[in-house]
Structure 1
Amino acid sequence: MADRRLLDAAAPLPDAGPPRDDMPQGSVSEYVDSLKASPRLGSQVVYHRVLSGRDPEFGEPVRPWPRAVGNLLAERSIPALYAHQVRATDMVRAGRHVVVATPTASGKTLVYNLPVLERFLQDPDARALYMFPLKALAQDQLKAFNELTAGWPKDARPRAAIYDGDVSDYARRKIRENPPHALLTNPEMLHLALLPHHEKWSTFLAGLSFVVVDEVHTYRGVMGSHMAQVFRRLNRVAARFGAAPTFIFCSATVANPGELAQKLTGHEVETITESGAPQGKRHFVFLDPLEGAAHAAIMLLKSALARNLRTIVYCQSRKLTELVSLWAQDKAGPYKDRISAYRAGFLPEERREVEARMSTGELLAVISTSALELGIDIGALDLCILVGYPGTIMSTLQRGGRVGRSLKESAVVLVAQEDALDQYFMRHPEDFFERPPEAAVLNPHNEVILARHLDCAAAELPLTEGEPWLDISEVRQVMTAMEYDGRLLRSKEGDRIHSRRKQPHREVDLRGAGASYRIEALPQGASVGLVDEHRAFRETHPGAVYLHRGKTFLVKDLDLGSHTVTVTPARVDYYTRVRGSKSTEILEVHEYGSVWGTRIFRGRLRVTETITGYEKRKVRGGTLMTIVPLDLPPLVFETEGVWIEIPMEVQRQAEDKFFHFMGGIHALEHAMIGILPLIVMTDRNDLGGISTPMHPQVGLPAVFVYDAAPGGVGLTRQAYEKADDLMARTMDVVASCPCDLGCPSCVHSPKCGSGNRPIDKAAALFLLGALRDAPAPDIGPQCLPQLPDKKEETPTDGIAVTAHIPNAELRYGVLDVETQLSAQEVGGWRNARDMRVSCCVLYDSETNDYTAYREDELPAMFDRLQALDLIIGFNILRFDYSVLGPYAGALDLHSLPTLDMLQEVRRRLGYRLSLDALGAATLGAQKTADGLQALAWWKEGRIDEIIEYCTKDVELTRDLYLHGREHGYLLFTNKAKQTVRLPVEW
């Protein structure tokens, strides 16, 4: 057990002796000096920088605070607010939307609490919605809110309450009936509980004055694209009750906080980024360990504990968290009771206990995943150890900001892993401090996500013409397509749009894109959670090892029909990784230009991914155990991407020097994806790539990088804008890596579907050099790839349909069949061929007459059917043709040009409607009888009455067809008793 040997061998730096409760705290500077002088780790320190502290900067508000609010500040020994707090609260009090993006521990809580309390003093009916991405943050802020107002008289004190999944059903009902002044919740509860049931929240929504969105930088990528729609839905529902709340955003340091907040809400947002809070001297140490990041982190932690330094250790994975925690439990000796893990899988009460013990100083160290990156109060800390680069400069600064509050000296130690970004900063540490934080990216018009929220919005309140949201061209386009598909239904009058379902919300996973799959654990079938379709194929295929909240499951079944994943608890010593193949089709080109000596494009792609099997690899060491084949349908989705061409001359040069060309472009693709998070705030798992030696539309070799989320979230847009930087960084990563053949630090990818084969690092480096030195390429429309043909579309009554002009000379017929026997008499509907014909009626548009055919006259009818250009019926394919089949001889009825109106209705709506229901709503006409009555007439020999009834059905079907052909829709009454349009195209 190599990891266990590492634990046993771990030894501290020169320390300050055994721990004692009365032992004075060691100096952070002395700790850093000891690390640099350590025989074990000193030579592995590649960089040390000291950031000087700064003094506080205070300000005065434009309008003095009410005496009650001023007293709150005085009771907390706050003589004045920091300058950024004053500027932000002045704007909020003036009704402006604000985003405050300042470092951790800069007092952002007061920015929103003070205006909320002031508004409460002015208007006791005012309400505020506080949004937090984590439950622990809500608990922390509830405590802060209550402590702030504790000195006010109880009957005059504003109430605050948490509304999340940990709250009992009884408590939730009480909160709805008597809502607090400040409601603390999370995105899922807003989406699933408040918005769909807004009528139950009328008191709260009518008084909604503020929406506080904490840690807004977490709402990026797929999650951000979802939240952009959730906030727009919130604005719609609030307006329904006469409210127009002011948004207050708080963020870590990102490059574009104002743009992020604007995309999330559609509002203009004032931006505040300059902090007036004080900061002490801070050491940054970069360490590139020889024996592994976990080993080095354990030694650093032991030395910190010996010096009584309060420490937080951030691990990049649960596995590393558990490894360091194992030492904390088994090897810490006298430190055992003063150190704790903190990760997903802990019960809420367990997490709160850790937070409280850390805040009071009872705990000396905590080992955490990213769960403690956000602003949960765990008191003042001295040292932050990062086991692996967190993926972004923003996250690194956010985690490092947990230490050294006020003017206290602190240190951040970044312990590198073998990832490309980790090693990049080990080789270029200055670049970390010189480059600005990344921009947070989201796409508020991702059509996949937008469609799901338009469905939710229409179920909450009917969409109406003239809404500002619907005036946006991208939204209008998606809404029109949804109408055409029958997912949204226009009212009879045409001015209101409804969802076809009462409550579609539970099918929308805010952290995924596309359709959702429900994960159920055997044997009870308890719900484990949701996974979006794109991730389901990769992470929950049969045989996959699936992790959820610290527990391990084996996937037993992936049911594509019911969108259900069945798992069972398991303890295994291996993990799984999929293998597969991908192809891409270019659908649109949005931009094109040049980068180095080649052309670069940005556009819309259709990616087809086929999962062919999966690997089983040992947890310890990653040894390949076996490869298991899978038979899954291709996963096809549209997204945004960028691609570069590889000129034929560059390919020829590489092959002349006997480089493996495919291995070179494959390595180039991996390297680009690995370094792109240096430029865009993302994870490499949010990106995909394809390298092809000859793309049929491009006519050249090409390397594609695309957003891995269906619809795209805007990541590769920035890649296109910073293409020169991306190419330069990619070349530097490959060239400066000391490995010979390629490794995870440069050109290997942990999620490569072909197992990183073929890979040729030297070929990638040659290709990059050749592209850099190649002459500038020709740019122009003649260089565009060949795109697929588009169908022209034309609006009909506000509904987009494929352009089609009905031919006035089209000869069509309308057919209906009545039977002698019932389904019950022949053993069920599957035996319809045995029900025998009592009569058929056929309408012929050429003669404009109705002809009845009895059982012995059917050959004449078949001759007439074959002369028609189109045969129309209602359930004709599954029923009428089945009944007629035994009489048709060699004629294949299903080969005739047929329009089955029932099938078309079901295809658009997802469920069936009766001919009677469509006739009543559309034409005010109904059937004159039913099939059971016709069967009774047959037994009584009343064939003329059957013919008359059948003729009326044919007439009704014909009139519905003509109405749909002329107007582009039929009408029906939905379950909410609303008469709505069903778009049709025939």
Structure 2
Amino acid sequence: MPDSSSITSLRNISEYLQALKNSPKYGPQVVCHKTFPEQKGAYIPFPTTLPDILTSCLLQQGIEKLYSHQGKAYKEIRNGKNVFAATPTSSGKSLIYNLPVLESIYRDRSTKALYLFPLKALAQDQLRVLQKFDEIFYSDKQKNTHTLAALYDGDTSARQRKKIRTCPPDILISNPDMLHLSMLPYHSSWAPFFKELKYIVIDEVHIYRGVFGAHMSWVLRRLQRILELYGARPTFILLSATIGNPEQFAEKLIGQQVVSIVASSAPRSKRNMLFLNPWNSAAHTVSQLLEASLKRGLRTIVYTGSRKMAELITMWTKPNLGKLGSKLSSYRSGFLPEERRLIERDLNSGKLLGVISTSALELGIDIGDLDLCILAGYPGSVMATWQRGGRVGRGRKESAIILVAQEDALDQYYMQNHEDFFSRTMESAIINPFNSQIMEQHLHCAAAEVSIHKNELAVFPLIIKKAVKELTSQGILLQSSDGKEFFATRKYPQRQVSLRGSGRQLQIIREDNGEVLGEIDSGRAFKECHPGAVYLHSSITWLVHTCDIENSEIVVSPFRENYHTRPVSQKHTEILKVIDQKEEPGYRVSLGKLIVREKVTGYQKRNNRNNKLMGSIQLDLPEQSLETVGLWLEIPESTKLEIEEQQLHFMGAIHALEHAMIGMFPLLVLCDRYDIGGISCPAHHQTSEAVVFIYDGYPGGMGLCNEAFFRIEELLEQTAKTIRNCACENGCPSCVHSPKCGSGNRPIDKKACNALITLLLNPGWNRHVQESFKKSMMTDQEPRMEIIRPGTFPDLPLSVLPTHYGVFDLETKYSAAEVGGWHKAHKMGISVAVVYDSLLDHCVTYMEHETDKLVEHLFALDLVVGFNNRRFDNAVLSAYSDKDLNKMVMLDLLEVVKKQLGYRLSLDRLAKFTLGKEKSGDGLQALQWYKDGEMEKIIQYCKNDVVITRELLLYGLEHGFFLFQNKAGKIVRLPLDLEGKILRKDG
């Protein structure tokens, strides 16, 4: 450990590293020290096409020439090409987009540009950069009516928003959420801006992978659809950290081809990269390294893999720093926005000397010149490692990155194979725009913005056409009466779609004063904030009392006991559909749709000092289910027999294999192990063999397992290498243990896993003949199984009505107001009831004194059809009979409409547009007729309603929809599965 007895402000990173390596305790733990020498830059002069006034402004900022990669990007953008600059941190990416945009604005003052940043802090940094160019474009007098750049985010006041919409700036700086929620739904208000939009700049593009990326790809598709409406076709400029598949990724994100620029010509100062494999806890080691760096005055950032670890390291380090303790802070998601902004400012100004962060500070927020980056565990990808390490050494001074390994499999893999880290290419960023759940949400939004025309569908991929058809069948989209357009049922469905989370956010609230401490995603709530859980926030421990998913709140109180908690859960998996399948000599691997059901059954209390189990508590929480995409290995019976004959634990083997494969998964695709899940089954009920499942951890899948399916052999080989190279005897977190295992890493058998993976990759070593497995192999490439979900049916006859059905309606003697409200319908009394009987093929009328016969007639029918009969007619009739009227087989057309549409439609409204008929009166008239004794008029009115209801039923069965006029005045189709409801008897 470096000597930290004296505080110095020399900020000498070389001395710190030398002291670390010479330390008797920590020196032997350094397994690798690689030095990257200073890199000189490659430059070009300013392009001759650049206006002199812009050149002058750059010179005033100390910029005398361009990096050669900046010049290449400038040329491509000027030629109208979409550009994707995926270069390392500190390579001058902001000039790549600012130069062509500012030049275009200077030459044509009508030019508009949209800058999108994923974080407010990034947007604010960019605004400060653009303000340096303000004087070029507008005098002080002109600034009253013209603006070069303005922010449009959640903090923008209502007054300022109106001003921006009325008189848009040349450059609008915003974020995906505002585009999704505040611009696209109100595009007509943005017409002046959209018509002149020439450039769309998207920064930190690598963050738009997985779920967020799928949402972003659809937001951009919706934006381009709106821009076509206004005749605009802007150039896209994308910027990112270095990734392995820039062109493929960008094209999936924006749906257009790009020119990629990946080589940086920017200079770099000397850098050091150290790998340290600690003998004890990684977190405690990081705490001591941080303490020593801060006492030397080194500006330091620590990255951790979890919010809990960030808080623990802060809590352990501060007491040892004395007065310097005030110069250290943690930083993570879950902090309130104002807390995060203050930490960013203090770090940039030098008020803070050190910060301990999750990935929240990985992006290019301006936090000043830092000396040292300490990684508390491998960040999960080569890209993230260099992205985080790129936060230091931005000036000409030497800097260092120290990777402190945890017991995790990937950490230990690189501790044993550190040259592999330095030679490995950046991972591919995966994006799946066609995740069914996300795609359907955004198609609904798109239809609300501008109706989807059949001509558009003609050029859409088949998967989108199917999604539109499915949304129409669900009543989420409504087809026009002529079938040419699709409209949204909701006016602003965007409000129901969160771009960043897989579920809604729950607030964490103090029990004593109601203070909101932070928030957590509902998908993680039961695991991290179940009743009895110990939760860390701002280095303070809290005890969870209640976790109320329905009301989106978690109640906590301060906690001072010396233990932490770990959830215990159970999972099981059902295969819904096989998408693809490969036969390998030692196993079969499949890709398909799965449903995973998980239930948190309890939690463990573990001592903070030694992690020993102090007790287990049972919980009774609701089950959560996830429909997703996954891959699964089917292991032949002969392999199972071979393992068992060696007196090895087969369940321990497949459980260990599941953990190890998940641990190695991020070597193939850009994700972390928390993006994926797994289950191992010694005998799955849907297959004839043992199965190991690995699945995407988001509804509908993110494309991660799709990628791994095609690289399964590579995944297994890397897994085998990790297991064999680990020095432990029985398994540990470096190879086959998982930090998120719901069964506490039991049973686990490393030796059996090693034998199993050897047999999978080398089936010839198996002494058993594998005929049983070969016989079970598929003889064709068709999926072996597909679960038909409720609501889907084979072709049926036009009418599935039973031979003896009836259509029923009644009129009352009193109004709801006269009896004290609709909830007292049983007091409203029957004046007349009418039943159409299919066997008689005419209507039968019943007066109040004949209600016994009415009830008898209804129970004799195989199906009773009505319009609001379940909630209203039955309630009125219940006053006249002891029978349970809900035992009748009923089809309530109003309930069917409401369930499909989300709100009610009157019988008159449906009849008018579906049948071209109108009711002969209304309920108030019928009440007056009763008071006046005009019973014939009531009877005729009631019969007319029954006839209309029956005709609606027959129309719906024949055509599959009703027609009505929506709130926008369009006549649209409301799709209905009346056949299915009659078959299921659930109407």
TM-score, shorter chain, exceeding 0.5 = yes
Instruction: Indicate the residue corresponding to 2:961 in structure 1.
Output: 969
Amino acid at match of 1:121: Y
Pick from 973, 979, 983 the counterpart of residue 971 of structure 2: 979
| Structure-2 residue corresponding to 1:8 | none
1:447 and 2:436 matched: yes
Tell me if the contact between 1:552 and 1:569 (Cα under 8 Å) persists in the aligned partners: no
Q: Secondary structure at the match of 1:47?
A: strand
1:730 and 2:719 aligned: yes
Measured against aligned partners, the alpha-carbon deviations of 1:359-401 in whole angstroms (never above 9, x if no partner) come to 5666654443323321123344333221211111111011112
Determine the structure 2 residue equivalent to 1:516: 504
| 2:700 corresponds to which of 711, 714, 719 | 711
Give the corresponding residue for 2:843. 850
2:79 aligned residue: 94
C-alpha RMSD over aligned residues = 3.3
**Match 2:587 to one of 598, 608, 628:** 598
Q: Does 1:257 align with 2:257?
A: no
Q: Who is 1:229 aligned against?
A: 218
3-state SS, counterpart of residue 814 of structure 1: strand
Q: How does 1:837-916 map to 2 (within 5 A)?
A: 837-857=830-850, 865=858, 870-884=863-877, 894-916=886-908
The answer as to whether partners of 1:520 and 1:529 remain within 8 angstroms in 2 is yes
Distance 2:457 2:134 in 1: 39
Distance 1:528 1:905 in 2: 43
Distance (whole Å) between structure 1 residues aligned to residue 241 and residue 95 of structure 2: 16
Paired residues of 1:596 and 1:724 also in contact (CA < 8 A): no
Identity between Structure 1 and Structure 2 (%): 46
Q: How many angstroms apart in 1 are the aligned matches of 2:533 and 2:168?
A: 44
The aligned counterpart of 1:70 is 55
1:653 is aligned with what amino acid? E
Structure 1 counterpart SS, 2:367: coil
Q: Relative to 1, partners in 2 of residues 1:517 and 1:735: Cα closer, same or farther, differing over 3 Å?
A: same
Give the partner amino acid of 1:967: H
From 695, 714, 720, the counterpart of 2:709: 720
**Letter paired with 2:966:** N
State the AA in 2 paired with 1:972: F
Amino acid at match of 1:907: K
SS at 1:432 equivalent:
helix
What is the DSSP-based 3-state SS (H/G/I as helix, E as strand, rest coil) of the residue aligned with 1:385?
A: strand
Query: Is 2:70–2:92's contact at 8 Å kept on the other side of the alignment?
Result: yes
Select between 728-737 and 393-402 the one with higher mean Cα deviation.
Answer: 728-737
Task: Find the aligned partners of 1:240 and 1:455 in 2 and give their Cα distance.
Answer: 18
Displacement of 1:447 in angstroms is 1.0
Partner residue in 2 for 1:57:
42
Equivalent pair of 2:605/2:615 in contact (CA under 8 Å): yes
Counterpart Cα distance in 2 of 1:696 and 1:842? 50
1:239 paired with 2:228, answer yes
Q: 1:848 to 1:716 in 2, by over 3 A?
A: same
Tell me the equivalent position of 2:785.
Answer: 787
Structure 2 partner of 1:931: 923
The SS at the match of 1:84 is helix
**1:517 & 1:551 partners in 2: Cα distance?**
21
Q: What's the CA shift for 1:339? A: 5.3
Q: 1:433 offset after TM fit, Å?
A: 1.2
Deviation at 1:706, TM superposition (A): 0.3
Distance 2:544 2:288 in 1: 38
Does the 8 Å CA contact 2:510/2:516 hold for their aligned counterparts?
A: no
**Deviates most, 277-286 or 423-432:** 277-286
In 1, the alpha carbon distance for the partners of 2:433 and 2:742 equals: 30
704-713 or 725-734: which moved more?
Answer: 725-734
Deviation at residue 183 of structure 1 after TM alignment: 1.9
Aligned pairs for 1:939-978 within 5 A = 939-978=931-970
Report the TM-score when normalising by structure 1: 0.90
Q: Which moved more, 1:593-602 or 1:834-843?
A: 834-843
Residue 506 (structure 1) aligns with: 495
Change (3 A) 1:520 1:146: same
- Work out the CA distance in 1 between the residues paired with 2:134 and 2:317: 39
Alignment CA distance shift 1:438-1:490 (3 Å) = same
Letter in structure 2 aligned against 1:424: Y
2:985 aligned residue? none
Q: CA 1:904/1:518 → structure 2, altered by over 3 Å: closer, same or farther?
A: farther
Q: More deviation in 231-240 or 827-836? A: 827-836
Give, as a single letter, the amino acid of the residue that structure 2 aligns with 1:691: S
Report the residue type matching 1:571 in the other structure.
P
Contact 2:334 2:519 survives alignment (8 Å):
no
Quick one: structure 1 residues 31 and 551, their matched pair in 2 at CA, closer, same or farther if it must change by over 3 Å?
A: closer
Structure 2 counterpart of 1:814, which letter? V
Question: TM-score, length-normalised on structure 2?
Answer: 0.90
Q: Per the alignment, in what secondary structure is the counterpart of residue 639 of structure 1? A: strand
* More moved, 899-908 vs 154-163: 154-163
Equivalent residue runs for 1:115-194 within 5 Å:
115-150=100-135, 154-155=139-140, 159-194=148-183
Report the CA distance shift for 1:786/1:395 in structure 2 as closer, same or farther (over 3 A): same
What is the aligned length?
A: 961
Tell me if the contact between 1:73 and 1:79 (Cα under 8 Å) persists in the aligned partners.
Answer: yes
Query: What CA deviation, in whole Å up to 9, does each residue of 1:288-314 have, x standing for no partner?
Result: 112322333344334445655443332
Question: Which residue of 1 is the match for residue 378 of structure 2?
Answer: 389
- TM-aligned CA deviation for residue 702 of structure 1: 0.3
| Conserved? CA contact 2:708–2:715, under 8 Å | yes
- Seen in structure 2, the aligned counterparts of structure 1 residues 759 and 827 have a Cα distance that, compared at 3 Å, is farther
AA aligned to 1:878 is R
Residues 62/724 of structure 1: CA separation in 2 closer, same or farther (3 Å cut): farther
- Contact kept, 8 Å, 2:509 with 2:516, in 1: the verdict is yes
Q: Which position in structure 1 is the counterpart of 2:559?
A: 572
The answer to whether the 8 A contact 1:587-1:606 is kept is yes
Matches within 5 A, 1:671-690: 671-690=660-679
Tell me the CA shift for residue 620 of structure 1.
5.3
Question: How far does residue 246 in structure 1 lie from its aligned partner after superposition?
Answer: 1.6
In the superposition, relative to structure 1, how do residues 39 and 617 fare at CA in structure 2: closer, same or farther (>3 Å)?
A: closer
SS of residue matched to 1:475: helix
SS of 1:853's partner is: strand
What residue is the counterpart of 1:84 in the other structure? 69
**Is the contact made by 1:47 and 1:286 (CA closer than 8 Å) also made in structure 2?**
yes
After superposition, where does 1:340-739 map in structure 2 within 5 Å?
A: 341-344=330-333, 355=344, 358-359=347-348, 364-405=353-394, 408-467=397-456, 471-513=460-502, 516=504, 519=507, 521=509, 534-539=523-528, 541-542=530-531, 563-573=550-560, 576-595=565-584, 597-617=586-606, 621-739=610-728
| 1:232-311 matches, cutoff 5 A | 232-305=221-294, 308-311=297-300
- The corresponding residue for 2:320 is 331
User: Is the Cα–Cα contact under 8 Å of residues 628 and 699 in structure 2 kept in the other structure?
Assistant: yes
Q: 2:236 and 2:903 mapped to 1: Cα distance?
A: 41
TM-superposed deviation, 1:551: 7.9
| Stretch of structure 1 that moved more, 382-391 or 237-246 | 237-246
Corresponding letter in the other structure for 2:552: V
Q: Give the letter aligned to residue 868 of structure 2.
A: N
SS at match of 2:952: helix
Q: What do residues 743-782 of structure 1 show as CA deviations (whole Å, max 9, x unaligned)?
A: 3222222322223232223322222222233149745446
Describe the shift of the 1:582–1:312 C-alpha distance in structure 2 as closer, same or farther (beyond 3 A): closer
Q: 1:805 aligns with which of 779, 785, 797?
A: 797
Change (3 A) 1:474 1:954: same
| Residue of structure 2 in register with 1:26 after alignment | 12
Q: CA deviation at 1:865?
A: 4.8
**Counterpart Cα distance in 2 of 1:239 and 1:604:** 36
Q: Given the superposition, is the C-alpha separation of residues 44 and 644 from structure 1 closer, same or farther in structure 2, using an over 3 Å criterion?
A: same
